[in-house]
Amino acid sequence: MWADAWRSLRKNPLFIISGILIIFIVVVALFPGLFTKQDPNYCTLDNSLGDPTAQHPFGFDFQGCDVYTRVVYGTRTSLMVGLASTILVVIIGTLIGSVAGFFGGWVDAVLSRLNDIFLALPILLGAIVVLQMFKTNGSIWKIVLVIALFGWVSTARIARGAVMEAKNLEFNTASTALGSTPVRNLFRHILPNSMAPIIVIGTTSLASYIVLEATLSFLGVGLPSSTVSWGGDISNAQTSLMTNPMVLFYPSAALAITVLSFIMLGDAVKDALDPKSRTA
């Protein structure tokens, strides 16, 4: 199945474009040194809001830091937060959702009410409250955990629905009659058939988690200012928005391109994973 998905992905221009962009973004995140020789935290007020030059193609921000360098170094933070939270959210969400959907009954009732409770909490508000309590610790894992804490809800809902739908399909009965056990059915038939919507919501939420990190950093409860991130830079750029809007533009554009790439990837993967949409 994966080989087929790969074959159909290879032919999808959406996938090729988003794939190239994402590979590029990952390379930037892993080796920022390849793209700039400067230190993102080397800032002199002499350069405050300075115009672009050959060495500093995006110019300088209010603090006199090189905008290009900061965009390059911010990639790693954003990507790490996005990927780590998505993986965590998909694992937790799929686990809770599929258990609820597969077993049904009181297990489903309990898990679904828990789900409803978390759904009632606005993720941004919840994140602010929780992050305020752990202000001292500045690592990105704090943000990842908070996002996972509030983010699993929608994935769990989708996983539950998908599992419930797949559970009633006839091939499960067929498989049981062939000698398969319910748990084997869950892993061999039901989960693979439920993965498509989960992967889609995973890739789209990856984008929204990157945005959420940016939002939290913008609000000042996210990453400490010592960590370079797009969100933090967008937040800082607001002071100079009127005088030099380009300072805001570059980190925002980087964020937008990254988010867009992942959404496109999600769409392409969805098409490829759904054999019904595949033509013979």
Task: By CB under 8 A, name the binding residues for other proteins.
Answer: 1, 4, 169-171, 173-180, 184, 189, 192-193, 275-276, 278, 280
Q: How far is the CB of 203 from other proteins (least distance, A)?
A: 19
Give whichever of 142 and 270 is closer to other proteins, judged by the CB atom: 270
Give whichever of 4 and 39 is closer to other proteins, judged by the CB atom: 4
**Of the candidates 260, 158, 248, the residue with the CA atom closest to the CA atom of residue 211:** 260
Q: How far is the CB of 162 from other proteins (least distance, A)?
A: 13
State phi, psi for 60 to the nearest 5 degrees. -125, 155
- Please give the Cα distance from 234 to 236 (Å, whole number): 5
Give whichever of 175 and 240 is closer to other proteins, judged by the CB atom: 175
Both tokens assigned to 24: 């590029």
Q: How far is the CB of 13 from other proteins (least distance, A)?
A: 15
Give whichever of 112 and 193 is closer to other proteins, judged by the CB atom: 193
Q: How far is the CB of 104 from other proteins (least distance, A)?
A: 15
- Please give the Cα distance from 274 to 181 (Å, whole number): 25
Q: How far is the CB of 168 from other proteins (least distance, A)?
A: 10
Q: How far is the CB of 111 from other proteins (least distance, A)?
A: 23
**Of the candidates 80, 70, 85, 81, the residue with the CA atom closest to the CA atom of residue 228:** 70
Give whichever of 88 and 190 is closer to other proteins, judged by the CB atom: 190
Give whichever of 86 and 175 is closer to other proteins, judged by the CB atom: 175
Q: Is 121 left (phi over 0), alpha (psi -120 to 50) or beta?
A: beta
